[in-house]
Amino acid sequence: VSDASGCSMIALLHTGAAKFPQHFLPRTRQAVCLLLPAALLKGYGSIISRKLASHGFGASMAAMSSFPPQRYHYFLVLDFEATCDKPQIHPQEIIEFPILKLNGRTMEIESTFHMYVQPVVHPQLTPFCTELTGIIQGMVDGQPSLQQVLERVDEWMAKEGLLDPSVKSIFVTCGDWDLKVMLPGQCQYLGLPVADYFKQWINLKKAYSFAMGSWPKNGLLDMNKGLNLQHIGRPHSGIDDCKNIANIMKTLAHRGFIFKQTSKPF
Protein backbone atom coordinates (compact mmCIF):
# COMPACT_ATOMS: atom_id res chain seq x y z
CA VAL A 1 0.00 0.00 0.00
CA SER A 2 1.72 3.17 -1.15
CA ASP A 3 0.98 6.87 -0.97
CA ALA A 4 1.48 9.35 -3.82
CA SER A 5 5.21 9.62 -3.15
CA GLY A 6 5.70 5.85 -3.36
CA CYS A 7 6.39 5.39 0.36
CA SER A 8 4.94 2.18 1.77
CA MET A 9 2.80 2.01 4.91
CA ILE A 10 5.53 -0.11 6.48
CA ALA A 11 8.09 2.63 5.80
CA LEU A 12 5.86 5.16 7.51
CA LEU A 13 5.57 2.90 10.53
CA HIS A 14 9.34 2.47 10.76
CA THR A 15 10.42 6.06 10.15
CA GLY A 16 7.69 7.34 12.42
CA ALA A 17 8.27 4.83 15.19
CA ALA A 18 10.00 7.31 17.46
CA LYS A 19 6.93 9.58 17.48
CA PHE A 20 4.33 6.78 17.51
CA PRO A 21 3.02 5.62 20.91
CA GLN A 22 5.06 2.52 21.65
CA HIS A 23 2.19 0.44 23.04
CA PHE A 24 0.35 0.73 19.69
CA LEU A 25 3.26 -0.45 17.53
CA PRO A 26 2.89 -4.25 17.97
CA ARG A 27 -0.87 -4.11 17.25
CA THR A 28 -0.35 -1.79 14.28
CA ARG A 29 2.36 -3.95 12.77
CA GLN A 30 0.17 -7.01 13.25
CA ALA A 31 -2.77 -5.29 11.53
CA VAL A 32 -0.63 -4.19 8.59
CA CYS A 33 0.84 -7.65 8.22
CA LEU A 34 -2.66 -9.12 8.04
CA LEU A 35 -3.66 -6.62 5.34
CA LEU A 36 -0.59 -6.87 3.11
CA PRO A 37 0.33 -9.85 0.90
CA ALA A 38 3.30 -11.92 2.05
CA ALA A 39 5.22 -11.15 -1.12
CA LEU A 40 4.94 -7.42 -0.49
CA LEU A 41 6.06 -7.83 3.11
CA LYS A 42 9.05 -9.85 1.96
CA GLY A 43 10.19 -7.14 -0.44
CA TYR A 44 9.46 -3.97 1.51
CA GLY A 45 12.82 -3.89 3.27
CA SER A 46 14.88 -3.73 0.11
CA ILE A 47 12.54 -1.09 -1.40
CA ILE A 48 12.93 1.18 1.63
CA SER A 49 16.70 0.62 1.74
CA ARG A 50 16.96 1.71 -1.90
CA LYS A 51 14.84 4.81 -1.21
CA LEU A 52 17.02 5.74 1.77
CA ALA A 53 20.21 5.14 -0.20
CA SER A 54 18.97 7.37 -3.01
CA HIS A 55 18.71 10.21 -0.50
CA GLY A 56 22.17 9.57 0.96
CA PHE A 57 21.00 7.72 4.05
CA GLY A 58 22.55 4.27 3.96
CA ALA A 59 21.51 3.39 7.49
CA SER A 60 19.94 0.10 8.50
CA MET A 61 16.20 -0.20 9.05
CA ALA A 62 16.76 -0.84 12.75
CA ALA A 63 18.73 2.40 13.12
CA MET A 64 16.30 4.43 11.05
CA SER A 65 13.34 3.33 13.19
CA SER A 66 14.69 5.50 16.02
CA PHE A 67 16.92 7.85 14.02
CA PRO A 68 14.97 9.82 11.39
CA PRO A 69 16.90 11.66 8.66
CA GLN A 70 17.94 15.18 9.59
CA ARG A 71 17.52 18.25 7.38
CA TYR A 72 21.27 18.94 7.32
CA HIS A 73 24.24 16.94 6.13
CA TYR A 74 26.39 18.37 8.93
CA PHE A 75 25.95 20.18 12.23
CA LEU A 76 28.82 22.48 13.28
CA VAL A 77 28.86 22.57 17.06
CA LEU A 78 30.38 25.79 18.40
CA ASP A 79 31.01 27.14 21.90
CA PHE A 80 33.20 30.21 22.50
CA GLU A 81 35.00 31.13 25.69
CA ALA A 82 35.79 34.82 26.11
CA THR A 83 37.61 37.23 28.39
CA CYS A 84 35.50 38.04 31.44
CA ASP A 85 35.55 39.43 34.97
CA LYS A 86 33.24 40.72 37.70
CA PRO A 87 32.14 43.38 36.95
CA GLN A 88 32.22 42.45 33.25
CA ILE A 89 35.00 43.88 31.10
CA HIS A 90 34.30 45.53 27.74
CA PRO A 91 34.82 44.61 25.05
CA GLN A 92 34.89 40.87 25.62
CA GLU A 93 37.22 38.94 23.32
CA ILE A 94 37.06 35.34 22.16
CA ILE A 95 39.90 33.29 23.61
CA GLU A 96 38.79 29.73 22.68
CA PHE A 97 37.32 28.85 19.27
CA PRO A 98 36.21 25.18 19.01
CA ILE A 99 34.02 23.58 16.31
CA LEU A 100 32.93 19.94 16.03
CA LYS A 101 31.73 18.67 12.64
CA LEU A 102 28.83 16.34 13.39
CA ASN A 103 27.55 14.02 10.66
CA GLY A 104 23.81 14.58 10.25
CA ARG A 105 23.20 10.94 9.31
CA THR A 106 25.19 9.21 12.07
CA MET A 107 25.37 12.09 14.60
CA GLU A 108 29.03 11.16 15.13
CA ILE A 109 31.93 13.63 15.27
CA GLU A 110 33.89 13.56 12.01
CA SER A 111 36.33 16.44 12.44
CA THR A 112 37.45 19.04 15.00
CA PHE A 113 38.64 22.62 14.71
CA HIS A 114 40.12 23.98 17.94
CA MET A 115 42.29 27.04 18.50
CA TYR A 116 43.00 29.48 21.30
CA VAL A 117 42.98 33.18 20.45
CA GLN A 118 45.22 36.02 21.64
CA PRO A 119 43.13 38.85 23.15
CA VAL A 120 44.42 42.31 22.19
CA VAL A 121 42.33 44.85 24.10
CA HIS A 122 42.72 43.08 27.45
CA PRO A 123 45.68 40.76 26.79
CA GLN A 124 46.02 39.72 30.45
CA LEU A 125 43.43 37.17 31.57
CA THR A 126 41.77 37.87 34.90
CA PRO A 127 41.85 35.32 37.77
CA PHE A 128 38.04 35.10 37.44
CA CYS A 129 38.36 34.17 33.75
CA THR A 130 40.95 31.48 34.42
CA GLU A 131 38.94 30.02 37.28
CA LEU A 132 35.76 29.93 35.18
CA THR A 133 37.18 28.60 31.90
CA GLY A 134 40.33 26.77 32.95
CA ILE A 135 42.27 28.81 30.37
CA ILE A 136 45.59 30.09 31.71
CA GLN A 137 47.70 32.94 30.35
CA GLY A 138 50.18 30.65 28.63
CA MET A 139 47.39 29.11 26.53
CA VAL A 140 46.59 32.41 24.80
CA ASP A 141 49.97 34.18 24.75
CA GLY A 142 51.46 34.07 21.25
CA GLN A 143 48.32 32.55 19.72
CA PRO A 144 46.81 33.88 16.46
CA SER A 145 44.55 36.93 16.48
CA LEU A 146 40.82 36.55 15.87
CA GLN A 147 41.29 37.65 12.26
CA GLN A 148 43.88 34.92 11.71
CA VAL A 149 41.71 32.30 13.42
CA LEU A 150 38.71 33.24 11.26
CA GLU A 151 40.88 32.78 8.18
CA ARG A 152 41.86 29.31 9.41
CA VAL A 153 38.21 28.49 10.11
CA ASP A 154 37.44 29.31 6.48
CA GLU A 155 40.31 27.10 5.31
CA TRP A 156 39.03 24.26 7.52
CA MET A 157 35.46 24.71 6.22
CA ALA A 158 36.76 24.48 2.65
CA LYS A 159 38.90 21.41 3.40
CA GLU A 160 35.93 19.66 5.00
CA GLY A 161 33.72 20.35 1.97
CA LEU A 162 31.41 22.59 3.97
CA LEU A 163 31.57 25.49 1.49
CA ASP A 164 30.11 23.34 -1.29
CA PRO A 165 26.65 24.82 -2.09
CA SER A 166 25.20 21.31 -2.36
CA VAL A 167 26.24 20.50 1.23
CA LYS A 168 23.75 21.65 3.86
CA SER A 169 25.34 22.55 7.18
CA ILE A 170 24.41 24.77 10.12
CA PHE A 171 26.06 25.89 13.35
CA VAL A 172 24.70 24.75 16.71
CA THR A 173 25.28 26.70 19.94
CA CYS A 174 24.04 26.50 23.51
CA GLY A 175 22.11 29.77 23.42
CA ASP A 176 22.19 32.70 21.00
CA TRP A 177 25.08 34.59 22.62
CA ASP A 178 27.95 33.10 20.58
CA LEU A 179 26.72 34.04 17.11
CA LYS A 180 24.19 36.78 17.85
CA VAL A 181 26.27 38.82 20.31
CA MET A 182 29.88 37.71 20.80
CA LEU A 183 31.25 37.11 17.30
CA PRO A 184 29.45 39.95 15.45
CA GLY A 185 30.20 42.35 18.32
CA GLN A 186 33.93 41.63 18.33
CA CYS A 187 34.12 41.65 14.54
CA GLN A 188 32.42 45.03 14.47
CA TYR A 189 34.86 46.37 17.08
CA LEU A 190 37.84 45.10 15.04
CA GLY A 191 36.38 46.06 11.65
CA LEU A 192 36.21 42.45 10.43
CA PRO A 193 33.53 40.93 8.19
CA VAL A 194 31.33 38.11 9.48
CA ALA A 195 31.11 35.15 7.09
CA ASP A 196 27.59 34.25 5.95
CA TYR A 197 27.83 30.74 7.43
CA PHE A 198 27.95 32.30 10.91
CA LYS A 199 24.62 34.07 10.35
CA GLN A 200 22.25 31.15 10.88
CA TRP A 201 22.28 28.62 13.67
CA ILE A 202 20.37 26.28 15.96
CA ASN A 203 20.04 27.27 19.61
CA LEU A 204 20.25 23.94 21.45
CA LYS A 205 18.27 25.31 24.40
CA LYS A 206 15.32 26.04 22.09
CA ALA A 207 15.65 22.66 20.36
CA TYR A 208 15.72 20.89 23.72
CA SER A 209 12.65 22.78 24.93
CA PHE A 210 10.77 21.82 21.74
CA ALA A 211 11.75 18.17 22.20
CA MET A 212 11.34 17.84 25.97
CA GLY A 213 8.72 20.47 26.80
CA SER A 214 10.81 22.32 29.41
CA TRP A 215 13.33 25.17 29.27
CA PRO A 216 16.86 24.28 30.49
CA LYS A 217 17.53 27.21 32.83
CA ASN A 218 21.02 25.95 33.67
CA GLY A 219 21.93 25.12 30.09
CA LEU A 220 24.00 22.01 29.50
CA LEU A 221 23.72 20.83 33.11
CA ASP A 222 19.91 20.77 32.94
CA MET A 223 19.89 19.16 29.49
CA ASN A 224 22.27 16.39 30.58
CA LYS A 225 20.19 15.81 33.69
CA GLY A 226 16.93 15.76 31.73
CA LEU A 227 18.34 13.14 29.34
CA ASN A 228 20.15 11.12 32.06
CA LEU A 229 23.55 11.86 30.50
CA GLN A 230 26.89 12.20 32.24
CA HIS A 231 28.52 15.63 31.85
CA ILE A 232 31.67 15.41 29.74
CA GLY A 233 34.82 17.20 30.94
CA ARG A 234 34.93 20.59 32.60
CA PRO A 235 32.03 23.10 32.55
CA HIS A 236 32.94 26.29 30.61
CA SER A 237 35.70 24.57 28.67
CA GLY A 238 34.75 25.43 25.09
CA ILE A 239 35.82 22.10 23.58
CA ASP A 240 34.21 20.09 26.40
CA ASP A 241 30.99 22.08 26.09
CA CYS A 242 30.96 21.24 22.37
CA LYS A 243 31.25 17.53 23.20
CA ASN A 244 28.30 17.82 25.59
CA ILE A 245 26.24 19.63 22.95
CA ALA A 246 27.05 16.87 20.43
CA ASN A 247 26.09 14.16 22.92
CA ILE A 248 22.78 15.86 23.72
CA MET A 249 22.03 16.27 20.00
CA LYS A 250 22.75 12.60 19.32
CA THR A 251 20.46 11.55 22.17
CA LEU A 252 17.61 13.79 20.98
CA ALA A 253 18.05 12.53 17.40
CA HIS A 254 17.83 8.92 18.61
CA ARG A 255 14.54 9.88 20.24
CA GLY A 256 13.24 11.03 16.88
CA PHE A 257 13.84 14.78 17.11
CA ILE A 258 14.59 16.62 13.86
CA PHE A 259 16.66 19.78 14.30
CA LYS A 260 15.61 23.02 12.62
CA GLN A 261 17.17 26.48 12.40
CA THR A 262 16.08 28.66 15.32
CA SER A 263 17.84 31.96 14.48
CA LYS A 264 16.11 34.64 12.45
CA PRO A 265 17.76 35.73 9.17
CA PHE A 266 20.15 38.68 9.53
Rg (CA), the chain: 22
Are 101 and 196 contacting, i.e. CB atoms less than 8 angstroms apart? no
236 is catalytic: yes
Distance CA 65, CA 12 (A): 10
Which residues 6+ apart lie within 8 Å of 263 measured at CB? 176, 179, 180, 199, 200, 201, 202, 203
Instruction: Name the CATH superfamily housing domain 74-255.
Output: Ribonuclease H-like superfamily/Ribonuclease H (3.30.420.10)
Residue-wise pLDDT tens digits, 190-213: 999 999 999 999 999 999 999 999
81 is catalytic: yes
pLDDT in the model for residue 265: 78
Residue-wise pLDDT tens digits, 219-241: 999 999 999 999 999 999 999 99
Distance CA 90, CA 220 (A): 26
Q: Which of 73, 93, 236, 254 is catalytic?
A: 236
Beta bridge partners of 109: 102
Residue-wise pLDDT tens digits, 108-138: 999 999 999 999 999 999 999 999 999 999 9
The residue ranges of every structural domain in the chain are 74-255
Residue-wise pLDDT tens digits, 70-82: 999 999 999 999 9
Q: Which of 81, 93, 96, 160 is catalytic?
A: 81
pTM confidence score: 0.76
Are 95 and 188 contacting, i.e. CB atoms less than 8 angstroms apart? no
Q: Who wins on pLDDT, 32 or 95?
A: 95
